[in-house]
Amino acid sequence: MGSNYNMQEIAALQKIGGYDVPLDQWDHYLDHEDLTTDRTKARDLTSPYGSLHFAVGFGEEGDENGDWMTCFDYAELPDGRIVLHAVVNTDSGGYIGDAAYLVVERSEAVSVAIRLVEEALEGVSVNDGEHDAEGWNQTPWYFPCAVASFLGVRPWADLPEDELRKSPGPPEI
């Protein structure tokens, strides 16, 4: 999970696990522990494109094959549910936008994260590319493996970050 996220206007509050959790205008959860002093703004809880920590994609603007990437992030809500957030970006196509914003039970988080990566890989192949593991310094399976590690799923919970980053396949659940 990243930390350099933007402050957003609070559009609503939702009681979750005994906390007033703020939401932005798109019903995305904001960080209930990081609010401005006047309590009108809160930091993004997830920001896949802002942190660029987890990514599936290829190319750069100007490449003959173009470019396509999906970035991911996750966070835990006070009641234990997991937010999985994916953003797709193609600089050469002039598009950036949410691919998915899902709130799931802990027991579903790893399998949903795997599905999000599979969908991102389909987007890469449809756009005549393949994931650039060397360029991103991660296999496409880093995101679901990191989610599994965060949730304490073994053996991923015991693996160091560099091994999660280089996982040859999705976590087995």
| Domain assignment of residue 150, yes or no | yes
The answer to whether the beta carbons of residues 117 and 74 sit under 8 Å apart is no
| Domain assignment of residue 65, yes or no | yes
- What is the model's pTM? 0.89
Q: What's the pLDDT at 66?
A: 57
Residue 126's alpha-carbon distances to 57, 68, 120, 122, in angstroms, are: 12, 10, 10, 6
| Domain assignment of residue 118, yes or no | yes
Can you list the pairs that 31-40 forms with residues at least 24 positions away whose Cβ atoms lie under 8 Å? 31/5, 32/78, 35/10, 36/7, 39/10, 40/9, 40/10
The answer to whether the beta carbons of residues 132 and 117 sit under 8 Å apart is no
Q: What's the pLDDT at 75?
A: 97
Determine how β-strand 82-90 pairs with β-strand 30-35: unpaired
| Domain assignment of residue 1, yes or no | no
Report the distance separating Cα 143 and Cα 161, nearest Å. 11
Residue among 87, 84, 85 nearest 98 (CA): 87
Report the distance separating Cα 161 and Cα 20, nearest Å. 32
Q: What's the pLDDT at 1?
A: 41
| Domain assignment of residue 69, yes or no | yes
Residues 22 and 87 in one domain: no
The answer to whether the beta carbons of residues 45 and 62 sit under 8 Å apart is no
Residues 81 and 137 in one domain: yes
Residues 28 and 107 in one domain: no
Most distant pair of Cα atoms in the chain: their distance: 52
Residues 55 and 132 in one domain: yes
Residue among 72, 42, 37 nearest 143 (CA): 72
Residues 85 and 154 in one domain: yes
One digit per residue, the tens of pLDDT, for the chain of length 173 reads 444 458 999 999 999 999 999 999 999 999 999 999 999 999 999 999 887 899 998 875 445 555 778 999 999 999 999 999 999 987 666 778 888 999 999 999 999 999 999 999 988 777 667 888 888 899 999 999 999 999 999 999 999 999 999 999 999 87
* Residues spanned by the domain of 33: 7-44
What's the number of domains the chain is made of? 2
Q: Per residue in 56-104, pLDDT tens? A: 988 754 455 557 789 999 999 999 999 999 999 876 667 788 889 999 9
Residue 89's alpha-carbon distances to 47, 71, 81, in angstroms, are: 13, 8, 26
